[in-house]
């Protein structure tokens, strides 16, 4: 099957990609390896040509899963992975030093069973290391043929400009959805000015906009249990917003997830959302959103639900926010 395509740096990819984190990380009980393999295979069969992973996901397990399952079909997709966030001396950590980046990359290549990753991101900014040093490490990896293009994740416009001055950046990845608008502060404008593609992770807001959250009794190791928007007392307020969003989707003849993805796609043809899922049925639902064309009235109705400050609670806990360089929204700054 084929899907509509968009450009991210030098790559032409399906208009909707796949974030692979869910298969190995962060959302409670993990699927079996066999189920993960089936989902990855089905994504390629549906025409998805952009897979996103990271060293952190499953502490290397996600890269190993991709290596075991679909790397034999590598000519069918563009592969993205990430460094800086990794496991160092047995503990999760943040290390943007060039030697750490080089080590993470070499380990990733082994796990993936390849000698080349198409797009390689700095997963987060290490505030202890100048961005120029970290980007320089990626530039050297590109010169060595180990990666094809450079990316940044959850990075501010000012940092993007500093990084781009060292070496052209192909893609910036940040959370973006109808209810998370931080890239609109400055990042989207910077990307467009510099000719950088934008990759929207969590475009269905960690399942919230897919109508997958009804309470805050999460499984063990579900990251949403420590995210203020997805626990009480904030959650009840946000579920009231979701009810309006659900009704709008129903009236448009699509699912809430498809409404969220259609909204993201409508924000510009330089944006590629990468929803993640463990369900083949939900994967098929997400991919079908590549063919959804929302009317201007529907887009305006979405915006009328998620007005500035409508979502209760900050996006991240204070500890998580400390690792994020992307600009805060005005209402977040007021609460900081």
- In three-state secondary structure terms, 250 is helix
- 45: enclosing H helix or E strand: helix 33-45
Cβ neighbors of 202 (< 8 A, separation 6 or more) are: 19, 175, 176, 177, 180, 275
Q: Is 57 a catalytic residue?
A: yes
CA dihedral 31, 32, 33, 36 (to 10 degrees): -40
Strand partners, 8: 11
- 273: enclosing H helix or E strand: strand 271-274
Q: Are 147 and 116 in contact (CB under 8 A)?
A: yes
Q: Are 131 and 100 in contact (CB under 8 A)?
A: no
How many Å is the maximal CA-CA distance in the chain? 53
Q: Which of 57, 121, 176, 208 is catalytic?
A: 57
Residue found by looking up tokens 């290397």 in the block = 60
Omega before 233 cis (within 30°)?
yes
List residues with catalytic annotation.
57
């Amino acid at each position: 099957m084929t899907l509509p395509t968009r450009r991210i740096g030098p790559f032409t990819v399906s208009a909707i990609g796949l974030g692979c984190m869910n298969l190995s990380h962060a959302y409670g009980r993990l699927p079996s390896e066999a189920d993960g393999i089936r989902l990855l295979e089905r994504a390629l069969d549906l025409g998805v040509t952009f897979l996103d992973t990271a060293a952190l996901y499953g502490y290397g397990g996600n890269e190993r899963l991709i290596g075991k399952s679909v790397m034999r079909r590598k000519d069918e997709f563009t592969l993205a992975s990430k460094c800086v966030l990794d496991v160092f001396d047995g503990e999760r950590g943040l290390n943007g030093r060039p030697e750490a980046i080089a080590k993470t990359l070499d380990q990733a290549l082994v796990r993936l069973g390849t000698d080349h990753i198409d797009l390689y991101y700095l997963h987060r900014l290490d505030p202890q290391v100048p961005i120029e040093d970290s980007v320089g490490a990626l530039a050297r990896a590109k010169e060595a043929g180990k990666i094809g293009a450079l990316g940044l994740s959850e990075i501010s416009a000012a940092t993007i400009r500093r990084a781009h001055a060292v070496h052209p950046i192909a893609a910036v990845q940040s959370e973006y959805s109808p209810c998370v608008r931080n890239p609109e502060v400055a990042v989207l404008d910077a990307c467009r000015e510099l000719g950088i593609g934008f990759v929207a992770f969590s475009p269905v807001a960690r399942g919230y906009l897919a109508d997958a959250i009804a309470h805050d009794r999460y499984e063990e190791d579900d990251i949403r249990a420590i995210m203020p928007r997805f626990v009480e007392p904030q959650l009840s307020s946000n579920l009231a917003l979701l009810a309006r969003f659900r009704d709008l989707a129903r009236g448009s003849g699509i699912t809430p997830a498809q409404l969220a993805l259609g909204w993201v796609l409508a924000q510009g043809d330089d944006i590629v959302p990468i929803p993640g899922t463990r369900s083949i049925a939900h994967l098929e639902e997400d991919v079908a959103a590549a063919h959804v064309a929302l009317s201007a009235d529907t887009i305006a109705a979405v915006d009328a639900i998620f007005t500035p400050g409508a979502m209760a609670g900050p996006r991240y806990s204070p500890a998580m926010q400390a690792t994020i360089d992307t600009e805060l929204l005005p209402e977040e700054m007021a609460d900081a």
